[in-house]
Amino acid sequence: MTLVGVPRWRGWQWSAAAVSFGLHALAVILAVWVVAPSLTPPASRPQVVTVALLQSRPAPPAEVVPPAPEPPPPRPVPRPTPQKVQAPPEPQPVIPPQPAAPPQPAAPMAEVAEVADEEVALVEPNYQADYLRNPAPAYPRISRRLGEQGEVSLRVLVDPHGKPRRVELSTSSGFERLDRAALDVVQRWSFVPARRGSRAVEAWVIVPIVFSLG
């Protein structure tokens, strides 16, 4: 194609410039294409983390303690045979023995008739003859529970028939219950009456009674 009004050499100049520019552009493209892979940073390789499973050390086996041997069963203890125990008898007051009357010297036969009965020694009443069967006083239960004990002395007036006409407290035990028990029982006693010679007379006698718990 021929441009009208343009010199021929100028057409060639523009063609050469276009070819040169195209070559330069191609060279730049090739250079970028070649250099670009080297400029691209290599893709980072994923780091591989190795996880090792630590095996736990096995615990030492627990020491096995053998069970203690069972004690042998207790031997049956024979049950003792109960023994019958009799209750102790209730304490009884003690009546001391009556002192014996001193022996009297025998008077000569000639003088017996001359001596009056009043001059003959008095034999006191007797309260301990076996045939009298005088009961002992009862020990008051309250006194036993409270531990009361002691000795009572009674002064008794005995008539010629051997009956107590009067009973008086001579010495107290210190406990009214014991004194009363002694008085009550002696008032029912019988006595061997006092004697002066061959004759029974009225006379006083002391009766001691001991209350003891042991």
CA 205 to chain centre: 57
Contacts for 199 with CB less than 8 Å, ≥ 6 apart = 117
* pLDDT score for 87: 40
Q: What is the pLDDT of residue 59?
A: 62
User: Which pLDDT value is given to residue 86?
Assistant: 45
- Say if residue 193's pLDDT is above 50: yes
Architecture in CATH of 120-211: 2-Layer Sandwich (3.30)
Helix (H) or strand (E) holding 19: helix 8-39
Domain ranges of the chain: 120-211
Encode pLDDT of 34-85 as tens digits. Answer: 555 555 555 556 565 554 555 556 666 667 777 777 777 777 756 644 434 3
Place of tokens 């029912």: 188
Q: Which residue has the higher pLDDT, 140 or 18?
A: 140
**Residue 166 pLDDT level (bands cut at 50, 70, 90):** very high
- Nearest to 210, CA basis, from 133, 137, 125: 137
Residue 77 pLDDT = 57
At 196-212, the pLDDT tens digits run 999 999 999 999 999 99
pLDDT in tens, 107-145: 555 455 445 556 789 999 999 988 889 999 999 999 999
